[in-house]
Chains A and B, each alone.
Chain A
């Protein structure tokens, strides 16, 4: 199979665990995976943010200022910069009271992509169409 579709399911909050950031950086690494693959082989990741994971999709995080570490927000922006599809569950955003204007974009970094707020049914389709699902 030449192209392998991976669904990265980000479901943990952006605190207490490094999982969300690990998930995002693993997805971003698709940019360099070709050096380890044969010609014509590709990996296509899709980032799906669900559950408490949506808490990491709030802009103006102060992780660098307060803890000296890169924020989950910055990782989300990096995903957009490298043209990853980032799908965020609409129902979970509503559950946590997060509106779309509270979410970051990566326009300042020159990204063309933006976060896509979608119903869970659409994320379910991505999961069903993926060759492998990776839970973070």
Chain B
């Protein structure tokens, strides 16, 4: 089993990068790997609860919650998230809140790092 850490910085709506990230994480889990996800920049929209899944837009809430249920550690950048008006009660259950050193620490313990940059 390997450890994969993903840093995701792209917004949920307007980018297909988070959709790819969900599928890749799921595939890694199925192969028995450990997955960590760091959410930063505009990607913090992923962690908002009560998303309405309109068919024209990607949704992050359900796939994120499913990954957390399967043991994926998901952490959002507290500063990036609060700056966008998302408070802790607004987050999908199980999402961790921390500073950027969380990402660096997970990178330290990872076999592979996939850094998916923002816009």
Contact = CB atoms under 8 A, between A and B. Distances in A.
Interface of A: 4, 6, 17-19, 22, 25-26, 28-33, 35-37, 41, 43, 45, 132-136
B11 to A, nearest CB: 11
24 contacts: A4-B107, A4-B108, A17-B118, A18-B42, A19-B119, A22-B40, A22-B41, A22-B118, A25-B100, A26-B103, A29-B101, A30-B104, A32-B99, A33-B104, A33-B105, A35-B101, A36-B102, A43-B104, A43-B107, A45-B104, A132-B107, A133-B115, A134-B115, A135-B115
Interface residues of B, number: 21
Nearest to B100: A29
Contact of A36 (B80, B101, B110): B101
Nearest to A135: B117
Contact of B101 (A4, A32, A41): A32
Given A36-B105, A43-B108, A19 B100 contact: no
Contact of B104 (A19, A29, A136): A29
A43 B117 CA distance: 20
A45 B105 CA distance: 12
A19 B9 contact: yes
B104 A6 contact: yes
A96 B99 CA distance: 34
B108 A41 contact: yes
A17 B119 contact: yes
A83 to B, nearest CB: 16
A134 B107 CA distance: 10
Contacts of A132: 107, 110, 113, 115
Contacts of A26: 40, 100, 103-104
B60 interface: no
Interface string B1-43: 0000001010000000000000000000000000000001110
